[in-house]
Amino acid sequence: MPSEIEVEIKIPVDDMSLLRKKISQIDTEDLGVQLQKDVYFDHPCRSFESTDEALRIREIYVSMDEKNPISVELTYKGPKIGSLTKSREETSVEITLHHNLPRLLNQLGFTLVGMVKKNRQKYGYDDVTITLDHVEGLGDFIEFEKIVNTPDVVEKAESDLFRLAKSLGLDSSQAIRLSYLELLLDKF
């Protein structure tokens, strides 16, 4: 099974309504609104902060009331590769009986690091996912994400994403390589 590499650009947004208008003017598919609750854990034998890895449980809701998620994923994210984007290998599994998953991870020695909550509007554009995020405690961001299967195409994917960001009037020098969790932890 080939691994997936998530190539991602994240840029802070000052005017979300203007950006929504610009996105509506290109040929995107509206993929809907979600509430996502991400809970991160640290490894019992090594610091994911030091190794630049992540282990996350993501609950996805279609309503904002956090009742009955439509899906739950357990995701491992490897160290970031490249110097311009937040590109990294990612492996996810969907979990159906998820209520005991945090307890199971604690029993295995994993410790809770933090939680990120975001309201996310998703759009599809060719093979790119564009998301407009409002992150609790951080504010508004846009993310451009493309999944590739081999490291040799990461650079081209990055170039494609930066070109798309520029076409929407965004300044790619504002791109952030830190995850939302890292940004939240840096605030405290």
Measured CA to CA, the distance from residue 10 to residue 55 in angstroms comes to: 20
Catalytic residue at 40? yes
> Other CB atoms closer than 10 Å to residue 33's CB: what's the count?
14
Backbone angles phi, psi at 161, to 5 degrees: -70, -40
Q: What are the CB-based long-range contacts (under 8 Å, 24+) for 55-59?
A: 55/105, 55/110, 57/95, 57/98, 57/101, 57/102, 57/105, 59/98
Nearest to 144 by CA among 21, 47, 36, 160: 160
Check if the beta carbon of residue 102 is closer than 8 Å to that of residue 115.
no
| Residue at token pair 């993929």 | 31
Closest CA to 102 of 57, 69, 68, 58: 57
- Which residue in the list 40, 61, 123, 180 is annotated as catalytic? 40
Active-site amino acid positions: 40
